[in-house]
Every structure is written in structure tokens, then in C-alpha cells.
Amino acid sequence: MAPSTSHRPLSLVHARLIDPETGRETRGGALVEDGLIKALGPEVIAQNLPSDMVLFDCRGDVLSPGLIDLRASLGDGVANISASAAAGGVTTILADPPLDDPAVVSLLVQCAREKAGVRILPVGALSLGLDGRGIAELGLLQEAGAVAFSEGRRSLASSHIMRCALSRASDLDALVVHFPQDRDLAASGVMNDGELALRLGLVGAPREAESIALFRNISLARMTGARTCAAPVTTTLSLDLITRARAEGHDISCATTINHLTLNENDIGDYNAFAKFDPPLRREEERLALVEAVASGLIDMVFSDHDPQEEGAKDQPFSRAACGAVGLETLLAAGLRLVHADLISLPRLLRAMTSRPAEILRLPQGRLKPGAPADLILFDPDEPFVLDRADLKSRCKNTPFDRARLQGAVRATMVGGHFVHGGLLGGPFVDGVMAQMERR
């Protein structure tokens, strides 16, 4: 077993440093002490460090901030989701479902602190019981530790309740993450509305179900002055609304899922329930527009929408199968498909998964600079592998990427200066006498 580094400074050397906030790439290292990044850059090399320093050889791999995931279901349990996240390079998770009881929020904070290797942050519910009939005690939920408010994977149907919730959130200067979907319009749809749905004999959900709800929520946010984030946006209609709102000076952010960025409706294939999502996968033209929006910065964040489903819930006729997929372990590798296809730069992709979520959520992590929390990942963006869903750490295995050829192996994940995956838990390191020999 590798020696503990909990009370000793650690240096990660020979790394390709990528700062998503600035887009800058350099070669060098990072000095970690007391859970923080103390120094960073080309000068952090073995020859410049004390002889008793613990060194970790990154061997030229990418060192970046750990990923921040806007929404991930705790259906697999805190310990399991933590292991899945760490394996995928995700160091911070906003937990789903949202909670409407301050005592339960406090309990999740404590449970995550005791059982999770990654940071699991609670989200407060907008309505009591998530039933949309009356707003929750947002102030008490925020005091208990809720970092944002949401209805999770559903939309508040009542415009009046939504306005009241946004008004209260504005008073608290809190972020509201809303799922833009007109439930009545989308209710019977099981895939994207269009020619393919007709050919497959499936009921389609019109993309207007998203844009209608988004227009309403933007209008209500403008009335109340609330900070809002639309998640996910999946259509060009929504992108047009976001563009117009920002041009008018409205403070709105938005996010999309890795599934909508890397898959399209054709991936349903022969009624593949692992590719059934809510909102549904869109046409290829829409997917490419989403990618361009991430590359330009119009879409702020990319998240996994990790949603474990039992085998029986997916092993159904497509129209009756549950929506959702696991995604924490494939978030980075799937995103790297876009980098390897030259559709987006690696710093820009990482920005949408690290520093931009941190900025919107007002979190200290997600940055590669001195003074920031040492939540870091080390990965080789080029290493190829074929995903076998049986190898996923998640208890549920419902992934649309089963048997997919991917690139991007996560070598190590660090949270608060401690390795929670790979690294000194079993990776290359030099210590003590070996470190002194390297300096000679």
C-alpha cells in the first residue's frame, strides 16, 4: 500500500496542466498542501522540491480541475455513486432528487462527509413534496446546506407557484435550476417527434414542449430578478431563446447533457431502451447545434444526468421502458469524442465541466490555480478502450455507451488533496530515497 499523504505536502510533477478558466496549457507540476493547491507551473519540478517531499509522476498526462456535475441521482447510494464519480473524474455532484426537509438536507451533508470520497452537495426542492402545489421553505433549506433549488427532472406546471418560488429565491440570492418542459405537451411522447418516430411507430414529443416552458421561465425570472439555469436545453429553439434573453441583459445560464451532445435519435436503433431519455435524443442537426453552442460558450455547462435504472425497468418495450442512464463514469470519455472529432477544444470542454459550473454555483473548486481546493484529475485523453458496462462501478449498468469505442482514461482523482481513485492508491510515485535519486 502506498504511504499516506494526509499530513504531508504532495507534488504532482511532469504533467500537462490545463486551466479551463483561462484556456492556458503549460507543462509542469502542482504542489498540494492542506487540501489546497499551493503552487503551480513549470517551476514545480523534482529538482526544486525538498528531499522529503512525496512526489507523484504524472508521466505527461493532463492535470485539470475535477469535474463538477450539475445533476446526478443518488439511486445507487452515497458510497456507490461516490466510487462511480471518482472513477470518472467527477469530484463534485449536485444530488438528485431535491429535498424539501431541512433536516434531511443536514443528514445528507453529514452522510456525504462520512461516507463519500467526492463532494456530494444537496439541492433544495422548490415545492413541498415536489408536488408543485406550494413552495418549500427555501430559506431553511439554504441554511441547512442546499446549494441551489430545483424540481429535479420535472417542471413546475403552475406559473403562479413558479413565480412565487423564483421571487423567494431572488430574495435569498439563490440559483434555481429548472427543467424546461411543458408536461402536458410532452406527456405521451417517448422519443423526438418527427419522421423517425413515425417510422418506428412511436409517439413523438415535440421540441416545442421545451421552448414553451423555457420562454415562460425566462419571463418569470425577468419579473422576479432570480438567477436561473435551464437544464437541460436540447433544441435550437431553446438556444434562440437563451441568445435573445442574454442580449436583453437577463442573467440566465443553461446546461445540456452529455447524452444530447454525443448521441442523436438514430441511436435508438432497434428500440434500444438504453437510449431513451427525457427530454428525448434529438436529430443530428440539433446535436451539432448543441456542440457549437458549448464551443462558443452559449451553453455554459455539460453534465452527466446520471440516472441509474434497474435492469427490469429497461428490459421493457421501448414505449414502457424507464428513461435515463448512468453517466458519471463516461462523462469525460464521451465528451472527448467531440475533442477528437475537432468539434471543440479540450480546454473549452473542460471549462463547461469545471470552472463554469463552479462560477455559476459559486463554489470554490473547479479551478487550477494557487489557493483553490486540490480537487484534481489526471487523465490520458488519447488512451483508447472499449466500454464494457459490466466493468462500471455503478450497481446499475444502463449505459448507452456499452461496447462503444472511447478514448480518455482517468488515471487518478483527488478531492481536497486526497486520492480517491488511482494515484497513490496504486499508481506511479516516488518517495524518500527514490525522490532524492531522481534529483541527482
Q: How far apart are CA 50 and CA 379, in angstroms?
A: 26
Cell of 28: 509542469
pLDDT of residue 425: 54
pLDDT at residue 203 is higher than 90: yes
- The stretch 288-311 carries a mean pLDDT of 97
Nearest partner of 331 among 136, 158, 118, judged by Cα = 118
8 Å CB contact between 224 and 250: no
Instruction: Please determine, for residue 19, whether its predicted confidence score (pLDDT) is greater than 60.
Output: yes
Q: With a threshold of 0.85, does the pTM exceed it?
A: yes
- 399 burial type by CB count under 10 A (0-12 exposed, 13-18 middle, 19+ buried): buried
Q: What is the pLDDT at residue 48?
A: 83
Q: Which residue has the cell 480541475?
A: 65
- Between CA 304 and CA 257 the distance in angstroms is 6
What whole-number percentage of the chain has pLDDT above 70?
95
Asked whether the predicted pLDDT for residue 98 surpasses 50, the reply is yes
pLDDT average, residue stretch 276-298: 98
pLDDT at 7: 58
Is 107 part of any domain? Answer: yes
Model confidence at 440, in pLDDT bands (50, 70, 90)? very low
- Beta-strand (E) ranges in 157-278? 175-178, 191-192, 204-205, 227-230, 252-257
Q: Is residue 399 part of a domain?
A: no
Question: Domain for residue 421, yes or no?
Answer: no
E strand or H helix that includes residue 378? strand 376-386
Instruction: Establish if 389 belongs to a structural domain.
Output: no
pLDDT at 319: 96
Question: Could you report the per-residue pLDDT of 234-262, keeping only the tens digit for each?
Answer: 999 999 999 999 999 988 999 999 999 99
Active-site residue among 305, 307, 375, 431?
305
Q: What is the pLDDT of residue 51?
A: 76
pLDDT of 49: 84
- Identify which of 250, 190, 200, 263 has the alpha carbon closest to the alpha carbon of residue 223: 250
Active site residue 305: yes
What grid cell was written down for 174?
439563490
Tally of domains within the chain: 1
Show the DSSP H helices in 90-158 as ranges.
102-115, 138-144
* Average pLDDT of the residues of the chain: 93
Q: Which three cell numbers mark 185?
A: 405537451
Q: Which of the four pLDDT bands, split at 50, 70 and 90, describes residue 157?
A: very high
C-alpha cell at 90: 467527477
Phi, psi of 292 (to 5 degrees): -60, -35
CATH assignment at residue 176: 3.20.20.140
Q: How far apart are CA 233 and CA 344, in angstroms?
A: 18
* Residue 433 domain-assigned (yes or no): no
Taking residues 26-41, report their average pLDDT. Answer: 96
pLDDT-wise least confident of 4-18, 289-303, 309-323, 330-344: 4-18
Kindly give the pairing relationship between strand 376-386 and strand 62-65.
antiparallel
Task: State the residue for C-alpha cell 408543485.
Answer: 132
Cell 427525457 sits on residue: 278
pLDDT digits (tens, 9 = 90+) for 395-411: 999 999 999 999 999 99
Mean pLDDT, residues 377-387: 97
Mean pLDDT of 334-350: 98
pLDDT tens for 205-236 read: 999 999 999 999 999 999 999 999 999 999 99
The three-state secondary structure class of 10 is strand
Q: Is residue 285 part of a domain?
A: yes
**pLDDT above 50: residue 97:** yes
Three-state SS sequence of 315-341: CCCCCCCCCCECCCCCHHHHHHHHHHC
Q: Model confidence at 52, in pLDDT bands (50, 70, 90)? A: confident
The verdict on residue 52 lying in a domain is no
- Residue 109, domain extent: 66-367
pLDDT at position 46, please?
A: 84
- Regarding beta strands 124-125 and 119-121, do their DSSP bridges make them parallel or antiparallel, or are they unpaired? unpaired
Q: Quickly list DSSP for 202-214.
A: -PEEPTHHHHHHH
Q: What does 399-434 look like in DSSP terms, one character per residue?
A: -TTTT-EEEEEEEEEEETTEEEEEGGGTS-EE-THH
Residue 271 is predicted with a pLDDT of 97
| Total residue count of the chain as it appears in this document | 440
Q: Is 179 helix (H, G, I), strand (E, B) or coil?
A: coil
**pLDDT > 70? residue 360:** yes
Q: What is the pLDDT of residues 158-202, one digit of tens each?
A: 999 999 999 999 999 999 999 999 999 998 999 999 999 999 999
Q: What is the pLDDT of residue 50?
A: 82
Residue 389 and residue 402 in contact, taking contact as beta carbons nearer than 8 Å: yes
State the cell numbers at 232.
Answer: 437541460
Percent of the chain with pLDDT over 90: 90
User: Which residue type is seen at 272?
Assistant: N
Give the helix, strand, coil percentages of the chain, each rounded to 5. 35, 25, 40
Under 8 Å between Cβ of 305 and 327: yes
Q: At what angle do helices 284-296 and 346-353 cross, to 10 degrees?
A: 90
Is 59 exposed, middle or buried (CB count within 10 Å of its CB: 0-12, 13-18, 19+)? middle
Asked if residue 57 belongs to a domain, the reply is no
